[in-house]
Amino acid sequence: MKNTYYIAALRISLGFIFLWAFLDKVFGLGFATKPEASWLNGGSPTSGFLEKAVHGPFAEIFHNMSGVVAVDWLFMTGLLLIGLALILGVGMKIATYTGSLLLLMMWLSLLPPSNNPIIDDHIIYILALFVLKNLEAGKIFGFGKIWSQSTIVKKFPILE
């Protein structure tokens, strides 16, 4: 029983990382995003990172994505939905796949990582997502059990 608390805490904490990034970029809470650069003030949630932080062999690809409205919307929708899914414990399968894709793209945009030539926090988060999915962490102090029995999940298992 004690381990379930750690599993739930990991799931919720990881979800909050995604959700916090969304909130900071929307409202410009002054952490990673200044208020004047917030999405609500007309700023692009992807331009700062994609213009200034990206380096390595794929830099040009990511620079070209900077400020593209469709990319901004996909990124922000992903942050919000992945964060909520993890916090609530629903849609763990699709949150794992989409979250891992987002994190993998961020890792690719920073190759090689600055502190280690291969592994950085993005890879660790990907591994944590798959561990949580395989442990059915959404069913531990979350709404995963109820969600998995719903009609829509039975019809579309990827939503589990």
Mean pLDDT (the chain, rounded)? 95
- Residue range 24-38: mean pLDDT, rounded: 95
DSSP, residue by residue, 17-72: HHHHHHHHHHHT-SSSS-GGGSTTTT--TTHHIIIII--STTHHHHHHHTT-HHHH
Structural contact between residues 92 and 147, judged by C-beta atoms closer than 8 angstroms? no
**Mind listing the pLDDT tens digit for each residue in 96-150?**
999 999 999 999 999 998 888 889 999 999 999 999 999 999 999 999 999 999 9
What is the rounded CA–CA span in Å between residue 4 and residue 1? 5
Which residues have CB under 8 Å from 130's CB, separation 6+? 96, 100
Bond into 112 cis (ω within 30): yes
Q: Which backbone phi and psi does 48 adopt, to 5 degrees? A: -60, -50
Residue 1: is its pLDDT beyond 90?
Answer: no
- Residue range 16-38: mean pLDDT, rounded: 96
pLDDT of residue 114: 84
What is the rounded CA–CA span in Å between residue 57 and residue 47? 19
**Mind listing the pLDDT tens digit for each residue in 66-83?**
999 999 999 999 999 999
**Mind listing the pLDDT tens digit for each residue in 94-111?**
999 999 999 999 999 999
Report how far apart the first and last C-alpha atoms of the chain are (Å, whole number). 23
Q: Which backbone phi and psi does 26 adopt, to 5 degrees? A: -70, -50
pLDDT of residue 9: 97
pLDDT of residue 2: 72
